[in-house]
Amino acid sequence: MNTPPNAADEPPPSVDLVIAPRPRDLGGFTVRRVLPYAKRRLVGPFVFFDEMGPATFAPGEGVDVRPHPHIGLATVTYLFDGALRHRDTLGKDQIIRPGDLNWMSAGRGVAHSERTDPETRAAGHKLHGLQLWAALPEADAESAPWFEHHPKDALPEIETDGARSRLIAGTAFGQVAPVRATGATYYYVTEAEAGAAVPTPADAAERAIYVVDGSVTIDGAALAEKSMAVFKTGAQPGVRAGADGARVASIGGDPFGQRVIDWNFVASDKARLEKARADWRASIDGGFDGTYFALPEGEREWIPLPGDG
């Protein structure tokens, strides 16, 4: 059940593509990268999809993602286990816990760090979650950055027979999430009992599911744990949890147009990416005086541009 399907396997008729994630080592902490993929760069506005962990940290150990910059995207963080402390140059200092949402819209530019908070680090802990990037519409690409945290209890729940879904962002099944997501977007996570139907919106042009735990069938064909299925436009897939139940992330939205990714930057043209790279380098050389990028309060280190050492 833990083995992703072979890329040569024939997908169900409603599925355009099955993606098996690629592992990435982030300094002793492994993530599974699903998007971007060579044959599928984005689904709706979502240009990046990582599963973090599951990982277990001994007392005194934890995650230390040093300050780094973003433009043209929103980071979307959701946890199943553990905790992460977000700090950014807007002055936001927020610990996210399972079921909560952190949404940071970078706009014209912001820097942030993600670390294990001291209390969690001292106790030892598990960490498991998803981090997505949503590309910003052209009209918002150079907007002022902002950050919102929404606790678990503020996120709408959708209950169907044998399944419960938490709407993290956007609109689905008559519910609207509180975060200011743009356009026709949806993102929710479903916990489904064995054999239960996993709800799938019928009206979004681009849709995909990712099996976090367990397995599902799509029109009777198996989709293994740690796999993403991208649906064909207009398809009406029948998705059901496998024999052990399933935890499934569902994403989608209208087609979003061309986007280019360079490191932590997203834009519709390469010139804007080059400017972002130059701005981060100038910030380092200038001691982070705020002319381009600054460091979050309390931070004294940063991630250099790839290749700069």
Dist CA 132 CA 75 (whole Å): 6
How many Cβ atoms from other residues are within 10 Å of residue 306's Cβ?
10
Q: What is the per-residue pLDDT for 28?
A: 63
Closest by CA position to 132, among listed 205, 56, 203, 185? 185
Dist CA 238 CA 236 (whole Å): 7
Dist CA 252 CA 203 (whole Å): 10
Residue 169 structure tokens: 């962002």
How many Cβ atoms from other residues are within 10 Å of residue 93's Cβ?
13
Q: What is the per-residue pLDDT for 183?
A: 73
How many Cβ atoms from other residues are within 10 Å of residue 232's Cβ?
16
State the pTM of this model: 0.93
Dist CA 270 CA 248 (whole Å): 34
Residues of the chain short of pLDDT 70, as ranges, are 1-9, 26-28, 309
SS3 call for 192: strand
* Residues 141, 268 contacting (CB under 8 angstroms): yes
* Residues 31, 82 contacting (CB under 8 angstroms): no
